[in-house]
Structure 1
Amino acid sequence: MIVGTAGHIDHGKTTLVRALTGVDTDRLPEEKARGISIELGYAYLDVPAHAERIGFIDVPGHEKLVHTMLAGASGIDFALLLVAADDGVMPQTREHLAVLSLLGLTRGAVVITKADRAEPGRVEALHTEVRALLAGTGLDAAPILTVSAQTGQGVCELRELLFDAARHTPPRPSQGLAARLAVDRAFSLDGVGTVVTGTLHAGEIAVGDELLIQGHRARVKSLHAQNRAVERARAGQRCAVALAGLAREDAPRGHWLTAPAAALSTDRFDARLTLWPGEARPLRSGTRVHVHLGAQSVMASVAVLDGEAVEPGASARVQLVCHAPVGAWRGDRLVLRDAGASRTLAGGVVLDPFAPARYRRTPERLAELAACELLEVASRREQLLALSALGLDLARFAQAEGLAEALQGWALGEAARDALTARLLAALADFHARSPDELGPDAARLRRLVAPRIAEPLWREVLAALRQAGRIAVRGAFVHLPEHGVQLSAVEERIAQKIAPRLAAAGAEGAWARDLAKDCAEPEPLMRATLARLAQQGELHQVVKDLYCDTATMSRLAAIARQIAADQDKVTAAAFRNATGLGRKRAIQHLEHFDRVGLLRRVGDEHRLRADSGLFAEAAHA
């Protein structure tokens, strides 16, 4: 169990921890000289007849060091809110209580310290004042104890309360979750190297593990959990991790040490926030705030997703647009302070670390966020899959959840798959009706017609499944309905053999239907019908009406266009004409044909290569 002390400056936090554990958590010379905590301090206490060890995080109480207090508070299980009997409730008492409540803490106790400095009547009145202060917070049912670290009054009772709480603290879930440690301190030791400390929020860390921090990979050389040398640490423990292959400056406070599977960084995430009831004004979109998440603090802007503003005491979904990347995983707690860092505003929980910049308030998106608030991972995945018309990226889902298993690929719900299939088949039927002399669109062009926002890997998987089921046919890069590419008749086969050498000889200039009919001594209507059937099968291509080229020629011209685009980032008629040796008119006709079929796209007087098009690529490499 991790216990965090909180309260106003000079209300006895460090003294109380020393009375409970025998450890002075003020370790810096400046702290000794000034008599106040500046950095986070740590101490430990063994629980009798129990394998558990209690870890204490002693946080600063000064108002200017609330950001340091937050770095420690995000990982605690049990809070001790201290109120000095001689001072009573002070500004940082109220703010620290707000922080603890907004972080979702419901386990803790209030300790009235320095009881030896106050009259009994004063202590009794303070009990009443503190109980009123706790009303409506997560700690409203917390016990209130009276203690004097100087005389020992109440110290044993408090220690027993902590022992009992430790025995009843459920272990943090670690099964199936990747290791994530929020770094709140980093230093170098002679003979050891870089050491980082922090609370392990999820998963487990073992000696020998490969971990990531800020994109740097490091190996765990040795490990301490709850101030003991161990081979493995689990979620909920204070850890000191010695890392091989990492420089001290590459591990600053605030960053996350994670298993590679869970590593992520985001500058935009969606969350559910609760505005502190004591706030005087609603929280509106555009408000600049400090976001405290884990041990990190960044500036961000608020965009309210539910309504126009969050009223004091109310809860709403928001998007936080951060000014620097943060590590954020679904379910992580966060606290907001105002832009001037003078007061705590709100607290909440991360819903989606991969929040979209557009369509963030649509009913569809809000339904996805509702799914993110379901309690179980399996339920969230099932509901998100049902809602995702464009499919669910399993790798990104696993990252957002902080799962140990690195999932791969995409998933598409049954209803979404049926709807996508219906649109795809309808689009092919429409294409064949409008362009009966073409085999069909290439896969990339069909995607732009049917589902331009769907992920390419998922699109390929859908096409493969439909092809296997016999619902579509694919020839090279072209997709068509099976009935559209019917077999040639014996007469058409005979004519195809006649025209093949003539088309090959014609090359990029192409051959006209009437000329082919004359040269082959075939009726012109029959020749046109055969050419159209061959175009349907992808054996040749109609550049303009009645002008045909064979596939080998078109593949060669496509390769030239691709090379020009690679060299010049565009394809002009002049460049294409010079590279092919064609006249200007024929060169323009070929470029316009490439525009129509989806290899290129027209932008003013230029043509740009469509990077996703696979047209003619297979034939070119055959």
Structure 2
Amino acid sequence: MIIATAGHVDHGKTTLIKALTGEDTDRLAEEKRRGLTIDLGFAWTRTEQGHWLGFVDVPGHEKFIRNMVAGVAAVDAVMLVVAADDGPMPQTREHLAILDLLGASEGLVVLTRTDRVDGRRLEEVRAEVSQMLADTGLAEAPVFPVSGISGEGVPALSKWLASRAIEHERQPEPPAAGVRLVVDRSFSVKGSGCVVTGTLLDGPLCREDTLMMSPAGIPLRVRGLQVHGESVDRVRAGQRCAVNLAGDISRDSIQRGDWLVAPWLHQPTDRLDVALNLSQEARLHRGTFQVHIGAAARSARVVMLAPATPDAPALAQLMLEHPVQACTDDRLILRDPALNSTIGGGRVVDPFGLRRGRSADSRTGLLAALSASRDVTGRLNARLQAQSQGVDLDPFARANNLTDDRLDELLGRLRPMVIRAGSLRLAFAADHWTRWQSRLLERLDKWHLDCPEQIGPTEAELTRLTGPQLDQRVRHRLLQGLIDQGEVCRSGFRLRRPAHWPRLDSTDKALLERVLGQLEGTGLKPPIAGELAEALGLTRDDMLAFLERMDRLGQLVAVAPNRFYRPEMVTELAAIAVELAENSPTGAFDARAYRDRSGIGRRLTVSVLEYLDRAGVTAFINEERRLQPAYRQRKAVTVPGNDEKGYTADT
């Protein structure tokens, strides 16, 4: 159990910790010379029952408020220290305000220097403290009068702390999550190298784990771990520990405010969308404020997005001068450095704030819903309802520190439509998915009405809808779902409703049947336009004009200026490209590989590959072809009621 002190300067915080642990937390020469705590101090002791109590001693002087906030940012309980002879002082009240803004609800009050006052004065201070705590999370905190000099009251305080340590140890270990350790100190140990100390917020953390130093992005390895001076192989979330690091790092390259995180969590951000509680005296301006988050302090500008209401805090975006590592629900403090005062605090609603559209009604509405959601299930549901274009699950998992197992469990509860295509994972609310399919069907019906002579549009033509644009992979999956349901049929790269067939005049219809007859059985190497003209007794110009018209109508496909394919054969050409790419170790193939696999010859291979580039199947990069996103990790499927092949996302 980790306990941080708080309170006014010279109220006996350091003396009290020494009485409880026997250790002097003032380790700097300047602290000993001045008799004043300047930086964070650390001490620990073991209770009679064998449980550990760790203490973080914070400075009480107003000049060192930055160090104080860093010390109380990640603890289990707080110990507010008030001198009985002085009573509550300015820093007592500011420290208490900071603790309340950070959500502190577990703790105690210690009245020190009781040997200097009589019983009447002690009761007066009790009353002052009780009134001061009334509207805070520590309103029910027990009060212990002690004397750090005589030792009076220390045994009772130690007994209470021991009982809380027992209860704390009985709490179940938090669910597994990506490692997040907030660094508050770094130093070098001869023969070991760089060592950092801090509190493990999420974990567990084990020896030999690979981590990332954030926000700098330096990969590291855990060489050794210690808890309370004892070597361990594993640290659970909530424990303070020392971490011996291996990698390209020194004590000077990592400092207070940095984080050690699981590599997949590393994504520094300089825009935090937050729920903000401001003091009544606070006055926001266009200047720079100081944001304390974790153990870091960052300069930032504040942009208000929505005012506070009786039922909800204000919404704001903090634009940081330097990035931080943050997750949803991380607590923060906002101070005005010009006035040296705390003006508010809150918690992170979205660690990846938008640069554009941050004040749009749709965005502030989503942030309000996220702020009101107190668990990850509510947050995902709020996003599913608000984001019709789908929720990108990777940044959502990163923002909420969800491992793959926990994310899968969450998706199993909410059961959204999940699209997996390569590295992309998008989740759609069922009603949004249905509406997108309905829009596609309406668009296809209108296309048939406006162009009855055409077989149908391509995917790109069909999905050029007004309003939000969908990712190519998503629209592909939407259409494949409609094909699987029998609502849409595919003809090569064109789409049509099952009941639709193009209306051709009798002359074109008769000639098309003759052309299709000539193409039948020619496979992937159909005759050129001149050969068709000769076979059917037409001039080359007349035949070419007819073939080009049939291409525009979707009845045939012009792969090259003089080479026309049946639509289903073009699908076969695409299938070969998908097969070659998916079977390639690099995900790419060249013209030679395509020529050998298709058997169509070098010159035609060049024309076919250029056509597949234009059709959005492949992209020509560094003398090789790679699949476009919509065709990556696809498998050929048979469309129900149709012998043609199409493509669908692996699910």
Common topology (TM > 0.5): yes
* Residue 539 in structure 1 maps to residue 556 in structure 2: yes
- Aligned partner of 1:270 in structure 2 is 273
Structure 1 Cα separation of the partners of residues 45 and 382 of structure 2: 44
* Map 1:55-454 → 2, pairs under 5 A: 55-169=54-168, 171=171, 174-214=174-214, 215-248=217-250, 249-276=252-279, 279-281=280-282, 283=284, 286=286, 288-307=288-307, 310=308, 315-340=313-338, 342-369=340-367, 370-371=369-370, 373-405=372-404, 409-434=425-450, 441-444=457-460, 446-449=462-465, 452-454=468-470
Q: Post-superposition shift, 1:68?
A: 1.0
Structure 1 Cα separation of the partners of residues 21 and 452 of structure 2: 85
Q: Is residue 226–residue 237 contact of structure 1 (8 Å, CA) maintained in 2?
A: no
Structure 1 Cα separation of the partners of residues 392 and 60 of structure 2: 44
Structure 1 Cα separation of the partners of residues 444 and 365 of structure 2: 32
Structure 2 Cα separation of the partners of residues 165 and 205 of structure 1: 24
Single out whichever of 443-452 and 162-171 deviates more from structure 2: 443-452
Q: Secondary structure at the match of 1:198?
A: strand
Q: Post-superposition shift, 1:321?
A: 2.1
Structure 1: which amino acid aligns with 2:201?
H
Distance change (3 Å), C-alpha of 1:35 and 1:460: farther
Distance change (3 Å), C-alpha of 1:367 and 1:48: farther
Q: Is residue 389–residue 468 contact of structure 2 (8 Å, CA) maintained in 1?
A: no
Q: Post-superposition shift, 1:292?
A: 0.9
Distance change (3 Å), C-alpha of 1:171 and 1:453: farther
- Aligned partner of 2:26 in structure 1 is 26
Structure 1: which amino acid aligns with 2:320?
C
Aligned pair partner of 1:472 in 474, 479, 488: 488
Structure 2: which amino acid aligns with 1:426?
E
Q: Post-superposition shift, 1:479?
A: 4.9
TM-score for the superposition, normalised by structure 2: 0.74
Structure 1 Cα separation of the partners of residues 474 and 236 of structure 2: 37
Structure 1: which amino acid aligns with 2:441?
L
Distance change (3 Å), C-alpha of 1:542 and 1:194: closer
Q: Report the identity percentage.
A: 39
Structure 2: which amino acid aligns with 1:200?
L
Single out whichever of 430-439 and 54-63 deviates more from structure 2: 430-439
Structure 1 Cα separation of the partners of residues 615 and 111 of structure 2: 79
Distance change (3 Å), C-alpha of 1:143 and 1:190: same
Structure 1 Cα separation of the partners of residues 322 and 17 of structure 2: 36
Q: Post-superposition shift, 1:314?
A: 7.5
Q: Secondary structure at the match of 2:465?
A: helix
- Aligned partner of 1:37 in structure 2 is 37
- Aligned partner of 1:589 in structure 2 is none
Structure 1: which amino acid aligns with 2:513?
E
Q: Post-superposition shift, 1:490?
A: 6.2
Distance change (3 Å), C-alpha of 1:212 and 1:503: same
Q: Which runs of 5+ in 1 are unaligned?
A: 556-595, 600-610, 615-622
Distance change (3 Å), C-alpha of 1:348 and 1:226: farther
Q: Post-superposition shift, 1:209?
A: 1.1
C-alpha RMSD of matched pairs (Å): 3.7
Q: Secondary structure at the match of 1:409?
A: strand
Distance change (3 Å), C-alpha of 1:541 and 1:428: farther
Distance change (3 Å), C-alpha of 1:207 and 1:72: same
Distance change (3 Å), C-alpha of 1:266 and 1:445: farther
Structure 2 Cα separation of the partners of residues 456 and 216 of structure 1: 34
- Aligned partner of 1:618 in structure 2 is none
Q: Post-superposition shift, 1:502?
A: 6.5
Q: Post-superposition shift, 1:272?
A: 1.5
Distance change (3 Å), C-alpha of 1:300 and 1:455: farther
Q: Secondary structure at the match of 2:257?
A: coil
Q: Secondary structure at the match of 2:353?
A: coil
Q: Post-superposition shift, 1:324?
A: 1.8
1:176-203: CA deviation from partner (whole Å, max 9, x where unpaired): 3221111111122111121111111112
Q: Post-superposition shift, 1:365?
A: 2.9
Q: Post-superposition shift, 1:31?
A: 1.7
Structure 2: which amino acid aligns with 1:158?
L
Single out whichever of 225-234 and 414-423 deviates more from structure 2: 225-234
Distance change (3 Å), C-alpha of 1:294 and 1:521: closer
Q: Post-superposition shift, 1:381?
A: 2.3
Structure 2: which amino acid aligns with 1:189?
V
Q: Number of aligned residue pairs: give it.
A: 542
Distance change (3 Å), C-alpha of 1:550 and 1:175: same
Structure 1 Cα separation of the partners of residues 349 and 242 of structure 2: 29
TM-score for the superposition, normalised by structure 1: 0.77
1:556-598: CA deviation from partner (whole Å, max 9, x where unpaired): xxxxxxxxxxxxxxxxxxxxxxxxxxxxxxxxxxxxxxxx999
Q: Secondary structure at the match of 1:273?
A: strand
Q: Post-superposition shift, 1:204?
A: 0.8
Distance change (3 Å), C-alpha of 1:125 and 1:314: farther
Structure 2 Cα separation of the partners of residues 314 and 256 of structure 1: 30
Q: Post-superposition shift, 1:99?
A: 0.7
Distance change (3 Å), C-alpha of 1:73 and 1:521: closer
Structure 2 Cα separation of the partners of residues 185 and 438 of structure 1: 71
Q: Post-superposition shift, 1:265?
A: 1.7
Q: Post-superposition shift, 1:486?
A: 6.3
- Aligned partner of 1:606 in structure 2 is none
Structure 2 Cα separation of the partners of residues 482 and 473 of structure 1: 6
Q: Secondary structure at the match of 1:449?
A: coil
Q: Is residue 176–residue 204 contact of structure 2 (8 Å, CA) maintained in 1?
A: no
Single out whichever of 485-494 and 100-109 deviates more from structure 2: 485-494
Structure 2 Cα separation of the partners of residues 433 and 10 of structure 1: 84
Structure 2 Cα separation of the partners of residues 300 and 436 of structure 1: 59
Structure 2: which amino acid aligns with 1:387?
A
Q: Which runs of 5+ in 2 are unaligned?
A: 408-423, 520-525, 571-613, 618-627, 632-651
Single out whichever of 116-125 and 238-247 deviates more from structure 2: 116-125
1:97-122: CA deviation from partner (whole Å, max 9, x where unpaired): 11111110111112121222334433
Q: Secondary structure at the match of 2:397?
A: helix
1:584-615: CA deviation from partner (whole Å, max 9, x where unpaired): xxxxxxxxxxxx9999xxxxxxxxxxx9999x
Distance change (3 Å), C-alpha of 1:134 and 1:447: same
